[in-house]
Structure 1
Amino acid sequence: MEIAALVVLAVVLVVGASILWSTLRTGMPPMPSLGRAPRAMLELVEAPPEGGIADMGSGWGTLAIRFARRFPRTQVVGYEVSFFPWLVSVLLARLMRLENLRFHRRDFREADLDGVEVLLCYLMPEGMQAVQQRLERDPGSVRWVISHCFALRGREPETVSELPDLYATRIYRYRYQ
């Protein structure tokens, strides 16, 4: 029994260290979008997009999975740097047989946005600034940016939804082009 406990402890430490390392490297932890926020974000995409959907910093995959299930004919891609959240996302997508969903273990700043119409974000302010810089450099076909909690500085959102939760969480939708 002691060996099993040591193995579990070692796995927890390795996973924790891996997540801590990627958080320190990027300044953004892999946080899942929970509660009412994913539903509110889904409601802001009123019809299936003509282009794809990209989750910038997909964490554990929960948001990308919801969008892939809601829009089964739309290609959804998630970008995540942290190894274990990325791995969980890939395994969940395979278990759920979501053929329209892919996860890349890559920094979203290097994402290929060709053919992407909707960007999903649940990033810290620094991450949102990186998204904004990325879009200023090359917006591709991006028409909408939907952000959980954090706004794009200097841009006026088309819609701001305030959720009836403890934190009065805000969901922002920006028309980009």
Structure 2
Amino acid sequence: MEVASVNDRESKQPQADMALYPPAFHALLIQVAALVLSLFIFSAAKFIFNFVLPAIPLLLFHSIFASALSLIRGMDWWWVLIEFIFPPAVVASLLFGLSASFSFFAFVLMLLLFWSTFRTQVPYFPSKSNLPPIILELLPPTLPFSFVDIGSGLGGLLIDLKKLRPESRFEGVEIAPLPWVISLIRVWLLRSDIKLRMRDYVRCDFSQYDVVFAYLSPAVMPGLWEKARSEMRSGAMLMSYEFIIPDVPPDMEINTGENSPVLYVWRI
């Protein structure tokens, strides 16, 4: 088990101003700004150089501007990708005349998958498969324990942990409908006794668990700490994958692999 360096910790510090407004609000403003910049480039090329910029390069400029502004604003990688893809996706839908039913189906699918992003500012994060043995190194090797993954997604972490420690109790909480349904199916096929609930983690009683594991987002970490500190019993552990709690130094910082996020651990 490798302890993370101070530089690793500082590189993961969230930007406080990004948590003031929903990321979707920032994304919208960035698209507007990118459109203005693209129109400026188009006008400059036309009136200064007497050159009409073709549609495809203009669209590419828009995408590049949007993704670059996302990086400058410190938005996470999935928002950078969304900002780049959004302009050509809109143009493609207009050019190919996609039906209203197709657009509605795509909207419903995205809503089911990313419902938590719009409600809680917590997008879907799949954790990596190297996490279970690292987590289990921190827990008693023989005594059973209770573990909850708040934001359990497709249930992969819980399933892997249950295989390694079948005597312990594992539960998952997920607010997005589609990942929750998929995790239910996976657990049912495995005949596992993992309990999965579709609810917001703020409705969970943390006092029931020895370990609370979170892979959420910087926006919710201060509130998560307050809930953990008020509900978790003495000696229990709060684990956060990648995201630190501002102004609360962790008891442990564990490198989980090359180019992988840090696992932060607080003992209550």
Q: Which has the larger radius of gyration?
A: 2
Aligned with 1:90 (options 181, 184, 196): 184
Alignment partners' CA distance in 1, 2:132 and 2:102? 32
CA distance in structure 1 between the partners assigned to 2:192 and 2:102 by the alignment: 30
Cα 1:73–1:50 change in 2 (3 A) is closer
Indicate which of 26, 30, 40 corresponds to 2:124. 30
- Correspondence for 2:242 among 149, 166, 170: 149
Q: Which residue of 2 aligns with 1:16?
A: 110
For 1:66-93, what per-residue CA distance to the aligned partner results, in whole angstroms no more than 9, with x for missing partners? Answer: 2222221111111110000011111111
Q: Distance in 1 between matches of 2:221 and 2:234?
A: 18
How far, CA to CA, are the matches of 1:15 and 1:46 in structure 2?
Answer: 41
Residue number in structure 1 paired with 2:74: none
Q: Does 1:136 align with 2:229?
A: yes
The verdict on how the C-alpha distance between 1:142 and 1:86 changes in structure 2, with shifts beyond 3 A counting, is: farther
2:171·2:195 contact (CA, 8 Å) conserved in 1?
yes
Gaps of 5+ in 1: 1-6
What corresponds to 1:173 in structure 2?
265
Amino acid across the alignment from 2:156: T
Q: Which has the higher helix share?
A: 2
Residue 75 (structure 2) aligns with:
none
What's the TM-score once normalised by structure 1's chain length? 0.81
Runs (4+) of structure 1 exceeding 6 A deviation are 7-10
- Give a deviation string over 1:107-152, Cα, whole Å, max 9, x none: 1111122431011111111232222111233224661112210122
- Residues 124 and 150 in structure 1, CA contact (< 8 A), matched pair in contact too: yes
Show the counterpart of 1:3: none
Q: From the superposition, tell whether residues 28 and 72 of structure 1 become closer, same or farther in structure 2 (CA, over 3 Å).
A: same
Residue 158 to residue 81, structure 1, CA distance change in 2 (3 Å): same
Tell me the residue number matched to 1:67: 161
Q: Is the 8 A contact 2:129 2:157 kept in 1?
A: no
Matched-pair contact (CA < 8 Å) for 2:117–2:123: yes
Gap change, CA 1:49 and 1:119, over 3 Å in 2? farther
Identity value in percent: 25
Q: Does 1:80 align with 2:185?
A: no
Once superposed, what is the RMSD of the aligned Cα atoms? Answer: 2.5
SS in 2 for 1:67: helix
> Are the aligned partners of 2:115 and 2:175 in contact in 1 as well (CA < 8 Å)?
no
Gapped runs of 5+ residues in structure 2?
1-100
Q: Which moved more, 1:62-71 or 1:73-82?
A: 62-71
Q: 1:49 to 1:31 in 2, by over 3 A?
A: farther
